[in-house]
Amino acid sequence: MKKYILPLAILAVFLSVAVVLWLTKDNLFYLFNFGYIGVSISLGLFLFIGKYKYARRVTQLLVGCYMLVYLGIICNENMQIEGFWYYLFTGVFEAATIHYAVAKIFGPLIFGRGWCGYACWTAMVLDFLPYKQPRKPRKKLGWIRYITFFLSLAFVAALFFAHVGNLDRIMFWAFIIGNVLYYAVGIVLAVCMKDNRAFCKYVCPVTVFLKPMSYFSLLRIKCDKTKCVSCGKCKQVCPMDVDVTDNSLKRANGTECILCMECVKNCPKKAL
Ligand code: SF4
Ligand code: SF4
Ligand code: SF4
């Protein structure tokens, strides 16, 4: 029963958020939304515990498709970072702001970059590419994320302060075009750098929020030094180049861990 504590705890957290938002905002959508996401994540964790090979992918596809197709395309909610800025400027604490607060700003204090491993619809597609383990050493290109971050902010600020009309429609098309761009750049980078997650490592603006918050994440992969034989397998299979054998907060690329569990699955000594 002990092994089911984590999925049950995550389900409880999401259901609590669902109920609180449903009651405080008097909107049944929040109950459905956070309930669905909590069930999808817990299902993936249950499948992982049951040693199903594609457990993470099941959650990633369930949540990613829901956000991209249902919330983004059908409900016209811009769930990308531009949508977050837009709602901030309009002073509305709704879909994209709540999504960012829960998944990408405060949530990472508890579950780190779990969003990136189990829910992101960009990575959902990138993870189908063949370069699951980076074939080359990491490059010092992380500064690009700050440029994309400020470009996204400047884009929405310019629309807002110029009093451009029909902003809702513009934000919908910004969501569609933004996603097409993310996929195009992500796929080209993955193929050129032979690394599925190159976009996540160097370009994604959301990591400007995710990285500092996940530094303090409660949920972390830890290494039992008494079992570890320093074989290096964990670092070899890690898609994000994390030095998972170092238990300190400052471990190399520690804020990049997407909790994908590849290191845990592949450790021959069960040290993780
Ligand atoms: S880094 Fe960005 S693109 Fe990659 S999984 Fe996280 S949010 Fe998605
Ligand atoms: S795979 Fe396991 S045994 Fe090998 S270095 Fe990593 S933690 Fe240690
Ligand atoms: S392989 Fe391990 S250290 Fe690397 S991202 Fe996945 S869970 Fe984190």
Q: What is the mean pLDDT of residues 36-48?
A: 92
Q: What is the pLDDT of residue 131?
A: 95
Residue 151 Cα distances to 49, 148, 154, 195, angstroms? 41, 5, 5, 25
Q: What is the mean pLDDT of residues 92-113?
A: 85
> Is 80 exceeded by the pLDDT of residue 263?
yes
Q: Phi first, then psi: give them for residue 227, nearest 5 degrees.
A: -100, -25
Ligand 2 atom 6: residue of nearest CA: 234
Residue span of the structural domain in which 115 resides: 80-214
Establish if 25 belongs to a structural domain.
Answer: no
Establish if 4 belongs to a structural domain.
Answer: no
Q: What is the pLDDT of residue 10?
A: 85
In whole angstroms, give the CA distance from residue 153 to residue 81.
8
pLDDT-above-90 percentage for the chain: 74
Domain's final residue, options 214, 229, 252: 214
Q: Phi first, then psi: give them for residue 93, nearest 5 degrees.
A: -95, 80
Give 55-86 pLDDT, tens digit per residue.
999 999 999 999 999 999 998 888 899 989 99
Q: What is the pLDDT of residue 91?
A: 81
Domain's final residue, options 214, 241, 257: 214
Residue 102 Cα distances to 114, 177, 252, angstroms? 12, 25, 26
Closest ligand to Cα 234? 2
Q: Please check whether residues 210 and 88 belong to one and the same domain.
A: yes
In whole angstroms, give the CA distance from residue 81 to residue 154.
12
Q: What is the pLDDT of residue 97?
A: 82
Q: Please check whether residues 208 and 236 belong to one and the same domain.
A: no
Q: Is the CB of 240 under 6 A from ligand 3?
A: yes
In whole angstroms, give the CA distance from residue 92 to residue 81.
15
> Is 90 exceeded by the pLDDT of residue 113?
yes
What is the radius of gyration, based on Cα positions, of the chain?
A: 19
Q: Is the CB of 198 under 6 A from ligand 3?
A: no
Q: What is the pLDDT of residue 78?
A: 86
Residue 226: CATH number of its domain: 3.30.70.20
Establish if 102 belongs to a structural domain.
Answer: yes
Report residue 128 as tokens.
């189908």
Instruction: Identify which of 120, 133, 210, 238 to mutate to test ligand 3's pocket (most ligand atoms within 8 A of the CB).
Output: 238
Q: Write the CB contacts of 129 (distance below 8 Å, at least 6 apart in sequence).
A: 187, 190, 191, 196
pLDDT class of 87 with cuts at 50, 70, 90: confident
In whole angstroms, give the CA distance from residue 105 to residue 115.
11
Largest CA distance in the chain: 63
Establish if 253 belongs to a structural domain.
Answer: yes
> Is 80 exceeded by the pLDDT of residue 95?
no
Q: Please check whether residues 88 and 193 belong to one and the same domain.
A: yes
Establish if 271 belongs to a structural domain.
Answer: yes
Ligand 2 atom 8: residue of nearest CA: 228
Q: Write the CB contacts of 204 (distance below 8 Å, at least 6 apart in sequence).
A: 122, 145, 148, 182
If you average pLDDT over every residue of the chain, what do you get?
92
Q: How far is the CA of 226 from the centre of ligand 2 (A)?
A: 11
Number of domains in the chain: 2
What ligand 2 atom has the least distance to the C-alpha of 272? 7
Q: What is the pLDDT of residue 257?
A: 97
Q: How far is the CA of 171 from the centre of ligand 1 (A)?
A: 20
Q: Write the CB contacts of 4 (distance below 8 Å, at least 6 apart in sequence).
A: 46, 49
Establish if 241 belongs to a structural domain.
Answer: yes
Give 202-226 pLDDT, tens digit per residue.
999 999 999 999 999 999 999 999 9
Q: Please check whether residues 94 and 203 belong to one and the same domain.
A: yes
Closest Cα to residue 100, out of 139, 149, 53? 149
Ligand 2 atom 1: residue of nearest CA: 267
Q: Please check whether residues 168 and 198 belong to one and the same domain.
A: yes
Q: What is the pLDDT of residue 256?
A: 96
Q: What is the pLDDT of residue 209?
A: 95
Q: Please check whether residues 148 and 258 belong to one and the same domain.
A: no
Q: Please check whether residues 174 and 235 belong to one and the same domain.
A: no
Q: Please check whether residues 242 and 129 belong to one and the same domain.
A: no
Q: Please check whether residues 118 and 203 belong to one and the same domain.
A: yes
Establish if 94 belongs to a structural domain.
Answer: yes
Q: Please check whether residues 258 and 139 belong to one and the same domain.
A: no
Report residue 116 as tokens.
């990136």
Q: Please check whether residues 194 and 208 belong to one and the same domain.
A: yes
Q: What is the mean pLDDT of residues 244-258?
A: 95
Q: Please check whether residues 186 and 88 belong to one and the same domain.
A: yes
What ligand 2 atom has the least distance to the C-alpha of 227? 3
Q: Is the CB of 159 under 6 A from ligand 3?
A: no
74 CB-side CA count, 13 A = 7
Domain's final residue, options 214, 235, 262: 214
> Is 80 exceeded by the pLDDT of residue 37?
yes
Ligand 2 atom 5: residue of nearest CA: 230
Q: How far apart are the first and last CA of the chain?
A: 20
pLDDT class of 164 with cuts at 50, 70, 90: confident
Establish if 256 belongs to a structural domain.
Answer: yes
Find the residues whose C-beta lies inside 6 A of ligand 2. Answer: 223, 228-234, 245, 267, 269, 271-272
> Is 80 exceeded by the pLDDT of residue 96?
no
Lowest mean pLDDT among 86-100, 116-130, 225-239, 257-271: 86-100
Q: Is the CB of 116 under 6 A from ligand 3?
A: no
Closest ligand to Cα 267? 2
Q: Is the CB of 267 under 6 A from ligand 3?
A: no
